[in-house]
Chain A
């Protein structure tokens, strides 16, 4: 079982920090060191549109479900909300005191969640005209690396070595301790398990309900960069970039390395799996975005 390169996009100068499929997988959006957000058709390799406005590198992106808006954040401590079609800036949200590492929309795009190097998570209201955050959470004691929204649950991770799961309906915070700086967290598609990557070169597979460790995935190297990990769309495989420039693929259940995808000239930091097809998008610090397909 191997993944082979189908297409390569030129990406961004200065490294492509993030790449995301849209909801149905027809398009993808990327952001990188050249301070731009770019919309691509990965199948044809065409660059459809580019959104320029950031003052520094773009670190994370979020696409809303109806494809109308893109939220992007980066080193300039700002969040930009772009209109996909005409490229206008709908909103520019300021409030974080340091670079913003991650953004996420909630399900109906009424709230934007952002996590920053300034140790805070902020909730921004997109419905009303306020430009102040609704709420600021300051539980973490170090940089927030990733924020994800699943319904009424908000999953975040921080360099302080904790995964925090905020349940808004219950009004509860569940903190799982990993002990090493956590770079990425994802919920499985059945939303019962958490996949976390940390700087001890380990990907952990945890039970969401009680935090028990179900499996660990090792073999790759991850000690410095913020590398993302992800599931395949059927939750059968686990993917993660490695600092040896490969993308590692593990079998979810057995925990063995299935494949080492080779092709990037620098560390692949962002991964996105196609929602329906067996395709994987990866972006690397060498700037390129590559599309891989399972053969």
Chain B
């Protein structure tokens, strides 16, 4: 108790102490009426779960409804403008006020060129460090813990890591600013060197970005190494070059490690060759480390000079008129233009084959030597021939014959001329192409099916149509030539019509077509030599597939197939139609051919017999049974049948009659029989849309295409002519006008003078 009243001195207070008022407030109000507000007095946390995110209602958006979706409307006449979001759209009112005060700026994390803070700004101004081009990457991930730690330790961007060097003696007289130079007024004139920690300059590499205009590999400089090699030493330009002496010195280690170990390298300490030794142990350059550093800084200075020259605001503008980005400058010299050369034109007589000339080879052909002959030339004693002893001469001949049958003849063929060879190559090429085309044709149906399912992407190319037309024309021309070449055409043009101009080939009508024309399928049972067009299903083994399915022992398969059949596509195949109709006819008990037989045939068979018997015996010849059997004599029925062979003539009369009735109902037309020779009829005025040109030309597709082609050309010409004429007219008009004006002026002058 006592301790409560007198808190110990060691006690610490953590958090914000609550005032009594606050406590009472919260005590009296129920939980759902308690609200949390932010520092601006606005309510935080709303929604079903009041611990929710504090956006929306009353907070960041000014309306009660929160973010109302914008009304999007766009029509052909008034296109909707692309909504361009400004940074202000995403800002609260307070932030906006802030922005008005000191303007919108990017955070230092995202602006590597702008000064980070006042301290670093100052430092940068005075710092002599070369630019680190890595800084040009505008956004970097600064959330990395290492970076954060480094920052806490005093590191800043652009500064090199490592041990600090002592500041150079002799401060530079002219201060060099790198990056964005502040305007004169704002710049702090801190002449005193508060910088004692100059970073190691060697990490801040100065780089110059040079566009790559050559065709060498990346980073390859073709000439400089050569020169060095030839002189036997490297130039002191700071590049790391293996010195000549180190390469040539056989005692030095790195040589072997560089070039590998040969099999004759008989060394006991092979291990040392495999990487235990390090290149850094050896002096590879002619410069010492300090010299190198010196060269590096010199280079950095050089670049800096260049940049410094460019950076001051000398009114340089980019091509679009804007200022160059912060930290960038316009190039002092223009980048070289890359010259592109057009590909070489392929000559017309080019054959895509190796220019192998067999004639030459044959002519300069050396006598073929085998082992025996060579032996003879060398004067060796011939080895005992195993072949000759075992196989007789006859058998040898047989073998050679067999070999000839399978391979090329062993005898060399007589020499062929280059023309013949060329011809042969072209011919082979043609034959191969034809074979290829022939192979393709059976799949055209399939390809068509596939093409109908997929569409090709349409690339908007204005020349596409023309190119297509051209290729079509070429094809047509070829075809036309083929036609023209045919002997039939030759005979026809010479007037020998008859056997020479007639060709008879097989034609396979569809089975359904035969049925519709009431003829037997001429090729049924036969194997027609020429199919009208191979069916795709046949090519794919469709019939076999179906047969296999139907005869499959698996019940589920069969039932599935049946079901598919029953469900059926709305379009039946012709075979199915034929089969169905045949079934229907069978059900009706009518011979499908019964309609063809004339009644005379029936008469000749049955007339001699008793009419009553006939009635019993004769099958109903009509396909449709009479709705009401009439109790009339048989003879009469016979006559009825005679007068009613088919349905059509009856309906013909009816149609004709109805037409007559229609005609009578029509009002008398004013244009009745026009008296002959009424030639001067005024041309009718066209009403409505323009009609297509009259008449159908019986022109070939080729000539049509050609005409279209010419028409386009003509139109183009016409247009250009018209344009020229217009220009000319304008010019003439202008000249006339000028003349007139001059004249009037002269007149006026004269009038004034006189």
Contacts and interface: CB of A to CB of B under 8 A. Distances in A.
B510 A135 contact: yes
A115 to B, nearest CB: 12
A137 B532 contact: yes
A80 to B, nearest CB: 17
Contacts of A128: 572, 577
Interface in A77-130: 84-85, 101, 106, 108, 110-111, 117, 119, 123, 125, 127-128, 130
Interface in B512-528: 512-514, 516-523, 528
B673 interface: yes
Nearest to B651: A66
A257 interface: no
B700 A206 contact: no
A151 B35 CA distance: 98
A131 B493 CA distance: 42
A117 B700 CA distance: 9
A206 B519 contact: no
A116 B740 CA distance: 64
A66 B508 contact: no
A248 interface: no
Interface in A138-164: 138, 141-143, 145, 152, 159-161
A132 B577 CA distance: 13
Interface stretch (A210-218, A229-237, A271-279): A210-218
A172 interface: yes
B696 A179 contact: no
A125 to B, nearest CB: 7
A142 to B, nearest CB: 5
Number of chain A interface residues as a range = 35 or more
Contacts of A265: 679
Q: Is the interface of B mostly helix, strand, loop or mixed?
A: loop
Nearest to A16: B694
A47 B671 CA distance: 9
Contact of B678 (A8, A49, A75, A136): A8
A269 B695 contact: yes
Nearest to B514: A168
B674 A8 contact: yes
Contact of B694 (A14, A138, A212, A227): A14
B501 to A, nearest CB: 4
A48 B497 contact: no
A152 B517 contact: yes
A135 B509 contact: yes
B579 to A, nearest CB: 12
A2 interface: no
Contacts of A85: 655, 658-659, 662
A127 B584 CA distance: 14
Interface string B672-702: 1110111100001010000111111111111
A151 B503 CA distance: 22
A233 B513 CA distance: 30
Contact of B648 (A56, A66, A199, A227): A66
Interface in A47-88: 47-49, 56-57, 59, 65-68, 75, 84-85
A205 B495 CA distance: 13
Given A48-B666, A212-B497, A123 B510 contact: yes
Interface stretch (B178-186, B345-353, B460-468, B484-492): B484-492
Nearest to A59: B696
A55 to B, nearest CB: 10
Contacts, number: 240
Given A4-B676, A171-B507, A49 B662 contact: yes
A17 interface: yes
Contact of A177 (B491, B519, B532, B699): B491
B692 A171 contact: no
B505 interface: yes
A269 B698 CA distance: 11
B602 to A, nearest CB: 21
A101 B701 CA distance: 13
Nearest to B570: A129
B694 to A, nearest CB: 3
Given A160-B483, A175-B503, A134 B700 contact: no
B691 A127 contact: no
B506 A172 contact: yes
Interface string A12-31: 01110100000110110000
Nearest to B678: A8
B533 A136 contact: yes
B563 to A, nearest CB: 22
B315 interface: no
Contact of B519 (A13, A152, A160, A266): A152
B516 A45 contact: no
Contact of A57 (B516, B649, B691): B691
Contacts of B695: 15, 17, 225-226, 267, 269, 285
A219 interface: no
A84 to B, nearest CB: 6
B669 A6 contact: no
B752 to A, nearest CB: 67
A161 B509 contact: no
B698 A199 contact: yes
Contact of A48 (B506, B574, B662): B662
A7 interface: yes
A230 to B, nearest CB: 16
A27 B696 CA distance: 25
Given A141-B483, A173-B504, A181-B698, A45 B692 contact: no
B119 interface: no
Contact of B516 (A46, A134, A182, A199): A134
A196 B505 CA distance: 21
A266 B504 CA distance: 40
Contact of B701 (A13, A33, A159, A170): A159
A259 interface: no
Contact of B495 (A24, A41, A174, A213): A213
A135 B532 contact: yes
Contact of A212 (B498, B503, B696, B700): B498
Contact of B700 (A44, A56, A142): A142
Contacts of A47: 669
Nearest to B668: A46
Contacts of B504: 172-175
Contact of B513 (A44, A134, A206): A134
A169 B669 contact: no
B409 to A, nearest CB: 42
Nearest to A68: B655
Nearest to B696: A226
A171 B517 contact: no
Contact of B674 (A7, A46, A84): A7
B395 interface: no
Interface of B: 479, 483, 486, 488-489, 491-493, 495, 497-499, 501-510, 512-514, 516-523, 528, 532-533, 571-572, 574, 577, 648-649, 651-652, 655-656, 658-659, 662-663, 666, 669, 671-674, 676-679, 684, 686, 691-702
**A-B residue pairs, 9 tightest by C-beta:** A15-B694, A171-B522, A14-B691, A179-B492, A213-B497, A211-B502, A177-B488, A5-B676, A173-B507
20 contacts: A14-B693, A17-B696, A45-B673, A46-B663, A46-B672, A47-B669, A66-B652, A108-B648, A119-B701, A130-B577, A166-B507, A168-B519, A172-B522, A175-B502, A175-B503, A175-B505, A177-B501, A182-B698, A211-B499, A224-B699
Given A6-B676, A66-B655, A225-B697, 14 more contacts: A8-B678, A9-B671, A10-B671, A45-B669, A66-B648, A66-B651, A67-B656, A85-B655, A85-B659, A135-B510, A143-B698, A143-B699, A161-B483, A224-B698
Interface of A: 4-10, 13-15, 17, 23-24, 26-27, 32-35, 39, 41, 44-49, 56-57, 59, 65-68, 75, 84-85, 101, 106, 108, 110-111, 117, 119, 123, 125, 127-128, 130-132, 134-138, 141-143, 145, 152, 159-161, 166-179, 181-183, 199, 204, 206, 210-213, 224-227, 263, 265-267, 269, 285, 287
